[in-house]
Amino acid sequence: MKPVVTITYCPKCGWLLRAAYMAQELLTTFEEDLGGVTLKPAEIAGSYQVFVDDFMLFDRKREGRFPDIKELKQLVRDRVNPGKSLGHSDRKTEG
Amino acid sequence: MKPVVTITYCPKCGWLLRAAYMAQELLTTFEEDLGGVTLKPAEIAGSYQVFVDDFMLFDRKREGRFPDIKELKQLVRDRVNPGKSLGHSDRKTEG
């Protein structure tokens, strides 16, 4: 089973579009690596969390911000396919 | 557990955007009814299928076409919340 990314978002906050954008970026970059991306309305206001299977990659409340897309791809890559190059989005020195 | 919709799409066919669009429509209309929508790259070329949990709602190969969004909402509604009105998208006589 390939890993599945879940993006949990606060629907009342209007974050569906952001979550759907990130889902499409991940599915484009990791087309061969992921079993899918699930968009999941959160029960908790202000929640925006990204998981690979059960492992939490990013939590907006913990970080105090949203992930940027380059950072998110690096986090997913490190978890699902560490040898994969992300091309121009890959600047390990920033990690 | 709320039901989860899965949209399986052929990535090589370029159907991610269509699947992501439908996911956003469903999550907007059924915000309270769905546990999430999963976008899943298909292994099989030309595949475009929509499930509610394990139940197949629509299969492009069987139907010979894509679902339109109004039809898809009606199919999802009938499965997850039969009493829900879809407003102007709801013309039962067309079903």
Whether the CB-CB separation of A14 and A42 falls below 8 Å is answered with: no
Interface touch A23/B34, C-beta < 8 Å: no
Q: In a 10 Å sphere around its CB, with 0-12 CB exposed, 13-18 middle and 19+ buried, how is residue B1 labelled?
A: exposed
Q: Which residues of B touch A (CB under 8 A)?
A: 4, 6, 11, 16-17, 20, 23-24, 27-28, 31, 34-41
Q: Domain boundaries in chain B? A: 4-71
Reported ipTM: 0.93
With a cut of 80, say whether residue B43 has pLDDT above it. Answer: yes
Interface touch A34/B41, C-beta < 8 Å: yes
Rounded Cα–Cα distance for residues A18 and A7 (Å)? 10
The pLDDT value recorded for residue A89 is 75
Say what percent of chain A tops pLDDT 70: 95
Which of A4, A7, A24 is best to mutate for the B interface (most B CBs within 10 A)? A24
In tens, the pLDDT along B11-26 reads 999 999 999 999 999 9
What six digits make up the tokens of B75?
Answer: 């199919």
With a cut of 90, say whether residue A63 has pLDDT above it. Answer: yes
Rounded Cα–Cα distance for residues B4 and A69 (Å)? 25
With a cut of 70, say whether residue B94 has pLDDT above it. Answer: no
Q: Which chain B residue lies closest to A10 (C-alpha atoms)? A: B31
Rounded Cα–Cα distance for residues A94 and A33 (Å)? 24
Q: How far is B93 from chain A (nearest CA, A)?
A: 32
The pLDDT value recorded for residue A88 is 77
The phi, psi pair for B86, rounded to 5°, reads -100, 15
Confidence band, pLDDT 50/70/90 cuts, at residue A95: very low
Dihedral of the alpha carbons of A16, A21, A27, A28, in degrees to the nearest 10:
170
Sheet strands side by side (includes B48-52): A55-59, A48-52, A4-9, A36-41, B36-41, B4-9, B48-52, B55-59
Q: How far is A47 from chain B (nearest CA, A)?
A: 15
The pLDDT value recorded for residue B95 is 47
CATH number for the domain formed by residue range(s) A4-71: 3.40.30.10
